[in-house]
């Protein structure tokens, strides 16, 4: 039976894969794990629960809150807030658990459940497995005054915005920023934070109705932001995803600036400020080769991890590093947070522009992106990709062809039923040709249709 937890919690089609029953049972099981592991000094354990604005989050968060309270956990219900805000508030309130209902950048019909431990850190695999193993077990239910209490966390947004502003090295006066909130969880707090920092803010994609999250807006659909930045004469645009744990950007010409470029810009800024621990950046194997080359020229070490911000964070914590992230725009700034934070990333990127007096286009020229072609191959057995001899032989052949001039990477997605084929080469045409060739091999040998 496949593992319930993926690289970023439990995720799937809401009300079919991710049901109210599953949400309640996961909440109860997590409460039992808390009870086994915690020392609460005579008090009940506490949890913070939040969600993005998708419609299914309404009943799923209600199920999580009910499950926790029925198992004797006091719950701060934060309502709609970004995932990094829930991680921050879990630490800020000294809560024992944080829970977020979100499917991040996925389309509205999906939803997910992710947990944070004390301090706002993602759970490690062993604890997730322990929660999964306790699903549906018989248990003795508390009664009377021993049940958990539920209170709304009214000042959650204000606490989070104040935290964001405290991380800024300088104000953003003089900058005009367009924010695309993906009709998601940051629709209110991200514009608030940028305005409080001194920027003139234009907002698009900030009218969530429960059904329109990530629909044509946000970090997976930059076209609306690119047009808005150019039309409004802004200095930059900031794009979030549904739960605002990522940030992509657009320069004043409408050109996209991805997570690799943002990491490179912030790495240089942090080294200048003396806050880039050990002059080291942590990135995943999916980062563009151009970023690795640029950092090598600048004397900055880049460590590589598996794909997933949890693995970036694990490596950062183990080595005492302060900056890491993914090409997709998940950046972790460990001096200020425990998980990817799109609003914080955008604020620090804008702060670098304001302090340096340079455009985002100029700052992004620190690296040259190699042409990269990505194909998501669906309808295949993703778990067989590493063991299939024909697929691996095709990968070896492609790597020989690109030796010294590009890269090949095949990996199964941790959040979707697909195999990702990524190829970098000196020209877009070469990258596309090799990627399509490999994708055809994957379809031929791993198809489940």
Catalytic residues, by residue number, are: 104
Q: How far apart are CA 247 and CA 328, in angstroms?
A: 8
Reduced to 3 DSSP states, what percent helix, strand and coil does the chain have, rounded to the nearest 5? 40, 20, 40
Q: How far apart are CA 5 and CA 10, in angstroms?
A: 5
Q: Please count the other Cβ atoms lying within 10 Å of the Cβ belonging to residue 444.
A: 12
Q: Comparing C-alpha atoms, which of 392, 422, 433, 424 is closest to residue 405? A: 424
> Hey, what long-range contacts does 132-141 have (CB within 8 A, 24 or more apart)?
132/3, 132/4, 132/5, 132/29, 134/29, 134/32, 134/33, 135/4, 135/25, 135/26, 135/29, 136/25, 137/29, 137/32, 139/28, 139/32, 139/71, 141/70, 141/71
Instruction: Copy the structure tokens of residue 252.
Output: 């004043």
Strands 150-152 vs 10-13: parallel, antiparallel or unpaired: unpaired
Specify the DSSP class assigned to residue 120. G
Q: Is 235:242 a contact under the CB 8 Å cutoff? A: no
């Amino acid at each position: 039976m496949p593992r319930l937890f993926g690289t970023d919690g439990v995720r799937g089609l809401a009300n079919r894969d991710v049901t109210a029953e599953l949400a309640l049972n996961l909440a109860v099981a997590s409460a039992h794990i808390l009870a086994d592991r915690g020392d609460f000094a005579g008090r009940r354990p506490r949890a913070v629960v939040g969600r993005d604005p998708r419609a299914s989050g309404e009943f799923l968060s209600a199920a999580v809150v009910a499950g926790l309270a029925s198992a004797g956990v006091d719950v701060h219900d934060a309502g709609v807030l970004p995932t990094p805000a829930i991680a921050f508030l879990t630490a800020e309130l000294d809560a024992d658990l944080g829970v977020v209902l979100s499917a991040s950048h996925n389309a509205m019909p999906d939803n997910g459940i992710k947990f944070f431990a004390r301090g706002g850190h993602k759970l490690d695999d062993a604890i997730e497995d322990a929660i999964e193993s306790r699903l549906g077990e018989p248990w003795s239910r508390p009664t009377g005054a021993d049940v958990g209490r539920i209170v709304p966390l009214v000042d959650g947004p204000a606490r989070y915005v104040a935290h964001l502003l405290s991380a800024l090295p300088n104000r953003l006066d003089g900058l005009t920023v367009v924010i695309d909130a993906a009709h998601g969880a940051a629709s209110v707090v991200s514009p608030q934070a940028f305005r409080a920092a001194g920027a003139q803010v234009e907002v698009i994609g900030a009218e969530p109705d429960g059904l329109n999250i990530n629909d044509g807006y946000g970090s997976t659909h930059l076209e609306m932001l690119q047009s808005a930045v150019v039309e409004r004469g802004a200095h930059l645009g900031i794009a979030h995803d549904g739960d605002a744990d990522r940030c992509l950007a657009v320069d004043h010409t409408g050109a996209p600036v991805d997570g690799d470029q943002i990491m490179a810009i912030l790495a240089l800024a942090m080294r200048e400020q003396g806050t880039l621990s050990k002059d080291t950046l942590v990135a995943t194997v999916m980062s563009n080769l151009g970023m690795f080359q640029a950092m090598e020229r600048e004397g900055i070490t880049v460590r590589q991890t598996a794909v997933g911000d949890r693995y970036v964070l694990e490596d950062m914590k183990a080595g005492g590093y302060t900056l890491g992230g993914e090409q997709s725009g998940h950046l972790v700034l460990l001096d200020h947070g425990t998980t990817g934070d799109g609003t914080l990333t955008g604020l620090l990127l804008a702060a670098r522009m304001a302090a340096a007096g340079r455009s985002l286009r100029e700052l992004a020229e620190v690296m040259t992106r190699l042409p990269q072609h990505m194909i998501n191959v669906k309808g295949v057995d993703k778990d067989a990709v590493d063991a299939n001899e024909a697929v691996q032989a095709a990968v070896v052949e492609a790597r020989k062809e690109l030796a010294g001039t590009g890269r090949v990477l095949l990996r199964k997605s941790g959040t979707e039923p697909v195999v990702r084929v990524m190829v970098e080469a000196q020209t877009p045409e070469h990258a596309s040709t090799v990627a399509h060739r490999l994708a055809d091999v994957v379809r031929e040998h791993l198809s489940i249709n």
